[in-house]
Amino acid sequence: MPDKLKISIVQNHLVWENKQENLNNFQRIIEKLTGKTDLIILPEMFTTGFSMKPAEFAENMNGTTVEWMKSMVEKSGAAIAGSIIIEDNNKFYNRFLFVTDNKIEQYDKRHLFAMAGEDKFYTQGTKNTLIEYKGWKIRPQICYDLRFPVWSRNTDEYDLLIYVANWPEKRVAHWDVLLKARAIENQAYVAGVNRTGTDGNNYPHSGNSAVYHPLGNKISKTKPHENCAETIEISLSELRKVRTSLPFLNDKDDFELM
């Protein structure tokens, strides 16, 4: 079983509601990562920004962006992950996609951001997802989910928790603290990938994308407002060492979501 996993966090500006330009920008970034990483993580709604126009911009699971993600997997040799607007059975979802060379895994955002009206346009997800990739167990989440620790509680021993986001700069201090907290309380690696630039509603985003060690130490070097891709190697043996020496998860509370 592989011990190491190379993950690339892609922090970049998003061109407001312009799918083709965003795909072009990310393709240029992904091409530079070819053969250098195992997993490439893009931000939330990486084709449009945090748009409340799903009827105009939604795609289906056979749409242009899913096909683009498949082609990027083939070219780069890495899995590609990020969220886009999906229409499924006449409903709209903010859907996280994890695309490999032989499978597409998905997770629909559970906590819709009512302050921006997301709950009026999108359907809430009802199920958590556990992805198995290269010997790793991965739990995907989206932006506002970060504020709700019960939803991300590590009850099935995942190794890596991923958050993709359009998290505004004025609350980025919360983003920083909560990512670190999720790593510590779940004894897992946490990767948070956020956009930069100003969106169509004039909200600035600083990024602050990061990867945290299970002990809560930040192990990435991406800087705020920087458009870049950073690759970080994480280790299963290091994770197990932490859990063995500090077996906190053995004492976790049992609960059921109602």
- Strand 91-99 relative to strand 104-108, pairing: antiparallel
Token pair for residue 229? 């891709």
**256 falls within a domain:** no
pLDDT at 255: 76
Burial class (CB in 10 A: 0-12, 13-18, 19+), 11: buried
SS3 of residue 166 by DSSP: coil
**255 falls within a domain:** no
**136 falls within a domain:** yes
- Summarised one tens digit per residue, pLDDT across range 49-68 is 999 999 999 999 999 999 99
**182 falls within a domain:** yes
Instruction: Bin 190: left if φ > 0, else alpha if -120 < ψ < 50, else beta.
Output: beta
**59 falls within a domain:** yes
Identify residue 80 by its one-letter amino acid code.
I
CATH number reported for the structural domain that contains residue 153 in this entry: 3.60.110.10
pLDDT at 258: 65
Catalytic residue numbers?
Answer: 44, 109, 143
What radius of gyration, in Å, describes the C-alpha atoms of the chain?
Answer: 17
pLDDT at 92: 98
Q: Cα–Cα distance between 46 and 139 in angstroms, integer?
A: 19
Mean pLDDT split into 10-residue runs, the chain, 258 residues: 93 98 98 98 98 98 98 98 98 98 97 98 97 98 98 94 98 98 98 98 98 98 98 98 96 80
Contact between residue 145 and residue 178 where contact means Cβ atoms under 8 Å apart: no
- Summarised one tens digit per residue, pLDDT across range 10-36 is 999 999 999 999 999 999 999 999 999
The number of folded domains in the chain is: 1
**210 falls within a domain:** yes
Give me the sheet containing 4-11, strands edge to edge.
Answer: 104-108, 91-99, 79-88, 39-41, 4-11, 228-235
pLDDT at 131: 98
**257 falls within a domain:** no
Contact between residue 206 and residue 225 where contact means Cβ atoms under 8 Å apart: yes
pLDDT at 2: 79
Q: What are phi and psi of 76, to 5 degrees?
A: -90, -25
Domain of 130? 4-250
Q: Cα–Cα distance between 51 and 47 in angstroms, integer?
A: 10
Contact between residue 207 and residue 196 where contact means Cβ atoms under 8 Å apart: yes
pLDDT at 180: 98
**87 falls within a domain:** yes
pLDDT at 254: 84
